[in-house]
Amino acid sequence: MSGPSVRDVRAFWEGNPVAAAAVPYEPGSPAFFEYFDRLREEHEPARLSRRLHEYDEFGARRVLDVGCGNGYVLSRYARAGAEVVGIDVTSTAVDLSRRRFALDRLAGRFLVGSAEELPFPTDAFDCVCSMGVLHHTPNTERAFGELRRVLRPGGLLIVMLYHRHSAVYWRLRLRSRRGGRAVEDLVNEVDGVGNPKGDVYTRAELRTLLDGLEDVRCSVAYLRGLPIGGRHFPPRAILRPFASRWGWNLYGKARKPVASP
């Protein structure tokens, strides 16, 4: 039995924009973006985002976000003066990103397309990022190859995937054993029932995907307790020391080698 296609992935995310089900406001409204940003910064605090993305290092340089969602990351690069381009598999995401940029009076270019076949020339961008996206595309290895291709020599690649050695994955494995469902199906449903593709990776597997790049750095973050009575237990303050080992977000940063003369 073959796996999902890019068309299958597109169909799901067209109807289920990232985190939109958790936001009690009209998608594209100012209140929607404000609420979404607070939710995102609960699991990726602004200080972590600044350290990870190095926004201020890319003023007046070209930045591509593959799977731009609703433009959160790219808007931070744009505010720092970068020339930004966002691509997403869905027109819904592209429309939301354009709306965010219009509300914030920022300049950016957005288009619909697949991470597996980027419509850009080789060596086109100083920074390429893709956050929580590439584990959803049918051919993740091919998508990583495309990100490497469009990144200029010396440029920075930043990605986030889901982490296999995480508390979330362990809980899903326990549910799988108790309920008789495949753990792969439960991983898919982290992002909503009907999601056709999700996956988890170890640090070693991420390093393999980043093969051919240099100065590779991997890190882990975001550990949250179980929901009990409308709150999470244990509290995040108690879990914080363990997030760098058992968190759900697996980050990778690397540079494309500069060719020898």
Q: How many whole angstroms separate alpha carbon 123 and alpha carbon 154?
A: 10
Along the 261 residues of the chain, how does pLDDT read in single tens digits?
478 999 999 999 999 998 888 999 999 999 999 999 999 998 889 999 999 999 999 999 999 999 999 999 999 999 999 999 999 999 999 999 999 999 999 999 999 999 999 999 999 999 999 999 999 999 999 999 999 999 999 999 999 999 999 999 999 999 999 998 999 999 999 999 999 999 999 999 999 999 999 999 999 998 775 555 556 555 566 667 778 889 999 999 999 999 754
β-pair partners for 201: 163
What are the DSSP E strand ranges found in 3-150? Answer: 62-66, 83-88, 109-112, 125-131
Name the residue among 157, 250, 168 with its Cα closest to residue 201.
250
